[in-house]
């Protein structure tokens, strides 16, 4: 799984415990300021369903579900 947290780089995690949740606070200002976040994840060979959802302040910004082995989901959203 690859995701960004509103900063210039990306983070990756492998074999994350499910359900995977990552909470972050985006700060205004600074040398780099972004309110856009993204997530891409791939299912394992044994998976039947994979999903992603991005929320900001309780509002769903992006949501996707895919089924089948090795299926992929990608979510991207901006709170602006």
Tens-of-pLDDT digits for all 80 residues of the chain? 777 755 667 778 777 787 878 777 766 655 445 567 888 889 889 988 999 998 888 889 899 999 999 999 999 888 66
Compute the distance between CA of residue 55 and CA of residue 37 in angstroms, rounded to an integer: 10
Which two tokens mark 17?
A: 């415990």
- pLDDT computed for residue 39 by the predictor: 86
- pLDDT computed for residue 24 by the predictor: 75
Compute the distance between CA of residue 26 and CA of residue 34 in angstroms, rounded to an integer: 8
Report pTM. Answer: 0.72
Which two tokens mark 78?
A: 């901006």
- pLDDT computed for residue 32 by the predictor: 46
- pLDDT computed for residue 31 by the predictor: 47
- DSSP collapsed to 3 states, 24-39: CCCCCCCCCCCCEEEE
């Amino acid at each position: 799984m690859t995701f960004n947290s509103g900063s210039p780089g990306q983070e990756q995690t492998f074999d994350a415990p499910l359900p995977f949740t990552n909470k972050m606070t985006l700060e205004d200002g600074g040398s780099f300021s972004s309110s856009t976040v993204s997530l891409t994840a791939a299912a394992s060979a044994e998976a039947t369903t994979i999903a992603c959802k991005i929320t900001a302040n309780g509002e769903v910004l992006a949501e996707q579900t895919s089924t089948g082995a090795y299926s992929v989901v990608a979510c991207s959203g901006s709170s602006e």
